[in-house]
Structure 1
Amino acid sequence: MEQGALFNCFTIFGLYNNGCFRLFQVAERLSQPGFKLKGGILKKVLITGPEATGKSKLARQLAQHFDSDWVEEYARTYLNKNGPGYSRSDLDHILRGQLDWIQQAEKGQNECLFCDTGPEVIYIWSKHKYGVVSNEIERAADEYRFDKVLLMNIDLPWEHDPLREAPSLDERRIIFNRYVSFFQERNIDYTLISGSGLDRFSSALNSLKC
């Protein structure tokens, strides 16, 4: 069973619910293989990496391409609501919110789900910023798994955002290497996504094909 095709389409409207975006489209399907599902079971794809690497854009693009859903990054909504200042204890709240949004989205009718970050982002940022990780975050990072992991490279230009904190290339390299170590230490396979614009999207799309 395969999910996905290339769409020649326009978007009618988007529906927002619990951080999950559904794109409804009028589309002409053009025959093209998508990525295969495991016996019809929901396949969760994680899009992750340091700040300003195009995670949200790619998650949205893939969801549109596969006529599916995506879960946005809860941290951005949390900080927009409560202000950019936060403490280490806020990271536990952000973790719970992210996992809740993913769990809610899993109840949908689609067989694939694209997740804009997971517990690993909170784990790595807590390590980087505070030098420690709470038991709750560490447990989630160690136990929660996705079917496919796309790690975004830091080859895109930095774009200023009031919620971003690590603009220097040296610091971005340090954080990126933390992601690589995180996945290697847990024997989690990942695909590195590089390039800009259409090349970045094509790289991600090709990584999902069987």
Structure 2
Amino acid sequence: MEQFLAFSLKEIPYVAITLMIAFTFHEFAHAYVAYRFGDSTAKNQGRLTLNPIHHLDPIGTLLIFIAGFGWARPVPVNRFFFKKPRLAGIMVSVAGPVSNLLLGMLGFIIWYGLVGSGLSAGLPEAVPNFLDIFIQLNLLLFVFNLLPFPPLDGFRIIEDLVPAHIRPKLTQFEQYGALIFIILVITPLDQYTIHPILNNVLPTLVGGLNDFFYQLLT
């Protein structure tokens, strides 16, 4: 059975808990920032909550364990209610990935807090194993969601950064977003698009934060 999974059976519980937290905070962050900028669409649909049930997509979550990639339920956003649509759009899009960055940093703070206090020595192996996966997956989600491909947050940020007359042209690509995403992830093209970015940016980010918190908290 394990050969059909993207993670080992030992890692499954840690991954499941991490994704439940990571996806929930990611989507809640989108909904909260949109609400603060005047759009109550997500709030009215019950998405302004930290209840994972309202954010997890069954198929998207299951695929992570099988294929190594997946998704949560996208938060609905109506730009019509934003007083400053471009600024609000950027802030809403950035909020999700930033929430995962903060969660990854929190993982480092907890771990090196335990190390610095001497409590880590008496902890069961499950604690460092969980924190390692918690940090890695949240930072992966941070970097991955900022990639400039539809339907990721990075693409939406670009839509709001480009001149107004270019935005409609980019928006046309969104209808093909899911197909483009799947092609880039599961075909050999990923070796020339997504993987080079992740294989360079992610280790640099993890290593840099690790060194920073090690020096700061130990």
**Structures share fold, TM-score greater than 0.5:** no
**The structure with more radius of gyration:** 2
From the two aligned structures, give the one with the greater strand fraction. Answer: 1
From the two aligned structures, give the one with the greater helix fraction. Answer: 2
Provide TM-score, normalisation by structure 1. 0.34
Provide TM-score, normalisation by structure 2. 0.33
